[in-house]
Amino acid sequence: MGKFNKDGRLMIPLTKRIKTASKKDEDKVRYVVNKAYCPDGCSLIDTEHEINGFPGLRIKFQRKGVEGEFVLSAIEGDFDKIILSGSLANGKKDDLFCPHCGAMIKKLINCSCKPDADMVVIGLTPHLDFNNAITFCNVTGCKNGTFVKSGDVIRHARL
Ligand SMILES: [Zn+2]
Ligand SMILES: [Zn+2]
């Protein structure tokens, strides 16, 4: 999966490279998030770090003995990350926080990949609205996540 650079930064490669928006004949529509907020309303969009052509979402992470920050791709289905500090470990779960105010990113439901894994939720509006949000798993390497509305995720999880 991920590959560590000499300075310890981890790049998680895209399995399938996504063409950026300039490609008009893109066969599949993808959501790209251009607004994202912590539970207390700070913007998480990091215009200094673009991933595959779009500013990413800056998030602080923490697990036993390790903490740091990464930037997550704003493109649906793209799990590329830029690690700014600290290190991620494949298969390991991290608690996620706002890098600005430290508020913990809310957990929505359990992810099926591991007993203690969580689907976290990031709102697309300053006031967290579960019907206007994205979710993804807090375990590195888990591909569960969606940019559809969280209400749909809850409905699917209950089927
Ligand atoms: Zn915040
Ligand atoms: Zn998972």
Between the alpha carbon of residue 130 and those of residues 29, 107, 150, 154, the distances in Å are 22, 11, 6, 10
Distance in Å, CA 29 to ligand 2 centroid:
24
Ligand closest to 39 (CA) is 1
Ligand closest to 117 (CA) is 2
The number of C-alpha atoms within 13 Å of 65 and in the hemisphere containing its C-beta is 2
**22 within a domain of the structure (yes/no):** no
Round to whole Å and give the CA distance between 64 and 95: 10
**25 within a domain of the structure (yes/no):** no
E strand or H helix that includes residue 122 = strand 118-123
Residue ranges making up the domain that contains 43: 3-14+32-158
Ligand closest to 103 (CA) is 1
Is the per-residue pLDDT at 21 higher than 90?
no
Distance in Å, CA 43 to ligand 1 centroid:
7
Near ion ligand 2, which residues have CB within 5 Å? 111, 113, 117, 137, 139, 142, 144
Arithmetic mean of pLDDT, 138-151: 76
**24 within a domain of the structure (yes/no):** no
Task: Name the domain count of the chain.
Answer: 1
**79 within a domain of the structure (yes/no):** yes
Cα 102–chain centre separation? 16
* pLDDT interval class at 24 (50, 70, 90): very low
**151 within a domain of the structure (yes/no):** yes
| Predicted local distance difference test score (pLDDT) of residue 16 | 43
Q: Is 34 exposed, middle or buried (0-12, 13-18, 19+ CB in 10 A)?
A: exposed
Note the pLDDT tens digit of each residue in 43-99.
999 999 999 999 999 999 999 999 999 999 988 778 899 999 999 999 999 999 999
**Radius of gyration of the chain measured on its C-alpha atoms:** 15
**19 within a domain of the structure (yes/no):** no
User: In 3-state terms, what secondary structure has residue 156?
Assistant: helix
**26 within a domain of the structure (yes/no):** no
**57 within a domain of the structure (yes/no):** yes
Distance in Å, CA 24 to ligand 1 centroid:
35
Ligand closest to 140 (CA) is 2
Q: Which two tokens stand for residue 7?
A: 């300075």
